[in-house]
Each structure stands twice: as C-alpha cells, then as structure tokens.
Amino acid sequence: MSVGSNSGFARAAIHGTAWRYLAFFSGKLMLFISTVVLARLLSKEDFGVVGFAVTTIGFLDVMSDLGVAPALIYHPDDENTSVTAFWLGIAIGVALFVITWVAAPLVGLFFQDPRAIPVTRILALSYPISALSNTHEAVLQKKLAFGRNFIPDLAKAMSKGLLSIILAFMSFGAWSLIGGQLGGMAIGALVFWIVTRWRPSFSFDPKIALSLLRYGLKIVVVDLLAILLLNIDYLLVGRYLGAENLGVYTLAFRMPDLLILQFARILSVVIFPIYTRMRDVPGSLTRGFSMTTRYVSLVTIPLGVGLALVAQPFILTVFTDKWMEAIPVVRAIAIYAMLLSLSYNAGSVYKADGRPQVLTMLGLVRLAMLLPAIYWAAAVAKSIVAVGWVQAAVALAGGMLNLYVAARLIKLPLRQLFTALRPALLSTIFLAIATQATLLLTESLQPAGQLVLSVAAGGLVYVAALWVFQRDVVQAANHQLRSALGRV
C-alpha cells in the first residue's frame, strides 16, 4: 500500500485506528463495567488510594523504555536494531522497578498518606512486564501491521477489566484495580509473543543502543512533559484535597478519557509510523495533517460537548447519586478532553519530521500556564471543579498554539486548518441545541430515560446537520471508512 497519496494515507490511518480502537474499546468496556461495579462496592477513598499509585507510575511509565520503542520505529529496518532494543528495554524495565520499590516511601510522604506506599511498589511490576512486549509491538507498528496488533491489544484490555471484576467480587477492594492492571499486562505480553514471529537473539550492539537512546531520550523529554501535563492535576488534588476528592476526580475523568482522549492517543500512535513514511513526499504531511484534523474533530468535538451536556443523567444512571459530586467535574473534563484531542495530531508531525524538541518547547509553555493555575484551584480555591475548568482553559490556549506551530512548520495555511474544523464545529452547535432542549423537555423522567433520549436526539441532529450543510464531508468520510474497514 502506498501512503504517499491522500487516499492511501487515509485508508492506512482509518484502518489502523479501527483495529486499535476496536481492541482498546472492547477492553475498556470491560474496564468501564468494572469501574461501575467498584464504584458501588468501594469508597471514594479507595479510588483515591489507587489514584496515588496510578499517578506515580504514570510519571515513571514514560521512562519505561527511555523512548526505545519510538526510536525503533523511526530507525531503518534492521534485525540488530530490534534485538538491541529488546534487551535494552528489559534492562531499563528492571532498573525502574527497583528504583520505584526503594523510592515508594517518598510517594507516601508527598501525598501525606502511607497507604500509597504498598500499592505503588506492587504496581511498579508493570515496568518489567511491559518490557517483555514493547519491542514486539513496535515491530508490528513499524510494518503498519495493525491487524496483528489487534489480538494482543484486545487480550490485554479485556483481561484487565475481567480480572478487576473478579477480584472485586472476591472482596479484594482497591487491590482489584492493581491486580487487573498487572494481570492484563502479563496476558497481553504473552499474546504478543504468540502472534509475532519475531524473536530476539542473544546479542547486543552498544553503538546501536546509543543511537536508539539519542533519539529516544528526545521522546522521553517530550513524554515526561506530556505526562506531567496530564497528571499534575492528580498530584495536586491528591496532595492538597486528599484521597476522597482524588477518588471523585479520578472517576469523573474516566468517561471523557475513554471516549475522547484515548481515541486521539490511539490515532497518534497509528499516524506516527505513517507520517514517517510520508515525510519525504512533498506536500504529503500537509495534506495528511489537514485530513486527520478534520476526521478527528468530527468525532471528538461532538463527543466532548455532548458528554458535558448529559453529565448529570449519565452519572446518576451509571454510578448513582453517591457520586453526584463528580457531575460538574465531568462537564469540565469533557470540554478539556475535546480541546486537547484536537492538537494530539500535531505531535506526530513533529516526531516524524525529526523535531520532537518542538513538542518540548510547547510543553514547557503549557506547563508554565498550567502549574500555577492548578495550584491555585487545588490549594487556594480547594475545588476539584475549579481544577477541571482550569484544565479546559489551558487546553484551549495550549491547543491553539500547538496547531498554529504545526501549521507553520508544514506550511499549512491557517484558513485551511479552520476549514478542516468547520464541519464539526457547525454541526455540533445543532447537536448542543437538540441535546439541551431534550434534557429540558424530559426533566420529569428518570435519569436513564433522560440520558437515552438526549443522546439519541443529539446524535441524530448532528448527523443530519452534517448531511445537510456538509454533505461532501460525509460522503468523503464514508468512502474512506468503507475502503479502510472493508479490509479489517
């Protein structure tokens, strides 16, 4: 398949995203079910204690292979490179586990809660477990073999949710999430070895290792900034507002993350190896970036606005009134996730063009805005709702800057970038009107009835608005989807 043309690029992107999102969403559906079960069985503090460990591990997770996997995708195909990447990743994973185990008391000290220490130590096993399959996954991504990625991705994601549910019913409490996470990763690693023919030999080339690390460390710096930007809210909420508020905030983040941010992240994983193949074809990156921005916005903008509007009936229906405090937080995080998703695609452009340092500079700018703002919301205003809306405001400013820089880098006129976003923006206005009107007209119904009717009304009006005002966009998207998914 050629990815040098618009149609070839779109088919590869949609095809790969479909495979990864199908695997991801299938497993996340199980994880969502487990979250519903746990939300009814566990206290808010239990969620917060697990949040301490997940936040800490999230920071170190970007260091899990020091950027070796993306460096392997970036470098030309070579068996010695793949083998060296594998053993280098194993060494890094084991070292991080040891470091985390020793440093875990510092986590308890930071969050002012000793319960954070044991969960952090056990969850640190994720480093050596993930190292067993990182190279196998990168090899498949490099070959654009997204279909073969499907089975291990699905096994990993499904087993996480299923194990969490089983452990919850066995009264393991907060440890259910930890056990599900580690068990799912181990099963996923095993399945990667089964479906991937590649096997590492017992060899190691120091020169290749240095080359991988030179590129990979640039990615690590970018990813460290990204994880700091994504988790600074958890850190400060956990420290200044305690485990219970962190538990509410964590649960409120689940659905926007599942529907919106994870879609954008999965697409960025798919797009990166495709962009690396397109970088030498004049004009390809410009066309590809514009097209991807359009299709991402068609999904994430209506999802973000729609979820913000139906937050109340959704929380009351799924999690019960025990979690009413999460409703205003869900609204804010849905808008934040929508705004942030629009700039994920830009990061793949910088990496594929060999300039990940641009992401570093942009990340530093966004961090300079975000850190004092969230500190104020958590430590001064002492409100998780304020934290959510601060996130949304900074995502708007940072996202606009990211898109502007990416457009200038690949010589994409800003008018063309706005044209790519216009179909989703205009149609979402009609979605918002229809959804809000339905919510007002169904106030006397139970939350479940409100939720079903408002989602149905908003979705139908959104599709109708696209068809009436942007029919060419719908027809083009339908053609690309049928072409790509016909090969799934």
Helices (H), ranges, 5-145: 6-41, 44-61, 68-74, 79-111, 116-123, 126-142
Pick from 79, 208, 205: which is nearest to 139 by CA? 79
Cα separation, 460 vs 302, whole angstroms: 12
Residue 1 lies in a domain: no
Cα separation, 137 vs 140, whole angstroms: 5
Torsion on CA atoms 435, 20, 250, 188, rounded to nearest 10: 150
Write the DSSP symbol of residue 379: I
Pick from 364, 418, 373, 421: which is nearest to 394 by CA? 373
pLDDT value, residue 4:
45
Residue 193 lies in a domain: yes
pLDDT value, residue 267:
67
Structure tokens at 74: 């970036």
Query: What averages of pLDDT result for each successive group of 10 residues across the chain (488 residues)?
Result: 47 52 60 70 73 71 67 73 84 89 90 86 89 81 64 79 80 80 89 85 83 74 72 89 88 84 70 59 69 82 95 91 92 93 76 69 87 95 95 91 83 83 92 96 94 96 88 65 48
The domain containing residue 480 runs over which residues?
6-485
pLDDT value, residue 207:
84
pLDDT 10s digits, 376-407: 999 999 999 999 999 999 999 988 888 888 88
Q: Which helix (H) or strand (E) holds 444?
A: none
Residue 23 lies in a domain: yes
pLDDT value, residue 336:
94
pLDDT value, residue 3:
45
Residue 129 lies in a domain: yes
Residue 246 lies in a domain: yes
Residue 151 lies in a domain: yes
pLDDT value, residue 201:
85
Cα separation, 437 vs 323, whole angstroms: 25
Helices (H), ranges, 196-279: 206-256, 262-278
Residue 300 lies in a domain: yes
Residue 126 lies in a domain: yes
Provide the number of structural domains found in the chain.
1
pLDDT value, residue 484:
45
Helices (H), ranges, 342-413: 344-352, 357-375, 384-409
pLDDT value, residue 485:
44
